[in-house]
């Protein structure tokens, strides 16, 4: 399930992933918010708090993730992935070689630091 994190400033979109994540979650929860973000700000500052095992993402969810990444290819500005899964954090660092923008990973205990980084608020 993907849930919108509503406490972030308007220039940052945040999502919380828990349990089982499907393509329906991307279509219902994430895609409309990304579209709105791009219309409002022209770029994407994104915080993903991942409190589920990456294995709980369906193949459709992975395809949705890739499709959205490519659709907004030039709009990605800052992306912070917050998870206790070391491999996922390291994988998020690889995106800086594929997509424009800055990508970094944080541990769940570093959520406050991730929020500060992605929002630009100190």
Mean pLDDT of the chain: 82
Confidence of residue 22 (pLDDT cuts 50, 70, 90): confident
Separation between Cα atoms, residue 44 and residue 51, nearest integer Å: 22
For the beta carbon of residue 41, count every other beta carbon within 10 angstroms: 15
pLDDT score of 66: 56
β-strand partners of 46: 13, 79
pLDDT at 89 over 70: no
Confidence of residue 57 (pLDDT cuts 50, 70, 90): low
Distances (CA, A) of 69 to 32, 113, 114, 122: 14, 24, 20, 28
């Amino acid at each position: 399930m993907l849930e919108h994190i509503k406490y972030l400033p308007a220039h940052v979109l945040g999502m919380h992933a828990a349990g089982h994540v499907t393509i329906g979650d991307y279509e219902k929860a994430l895609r409309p918010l990304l579209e709105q973000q791009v219309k409002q700000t022209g770029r994407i500052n994104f915080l993903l708090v991942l409190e589920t095992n990456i294995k709980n993402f369906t193949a459709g969810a992975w395809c949705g993730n890739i499709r959205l990444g490519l659709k907004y290819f030039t709009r990605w500005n800052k992306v912070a992935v917050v998870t206790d899964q070391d491999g996922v954090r390291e994988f998020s660092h690889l995106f800086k070689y594929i997509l424009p923008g800055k990508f970094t990973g944080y541990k769940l205990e570093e959520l406050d630091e991730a929020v500060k980084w992605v929002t630009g608020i100190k």
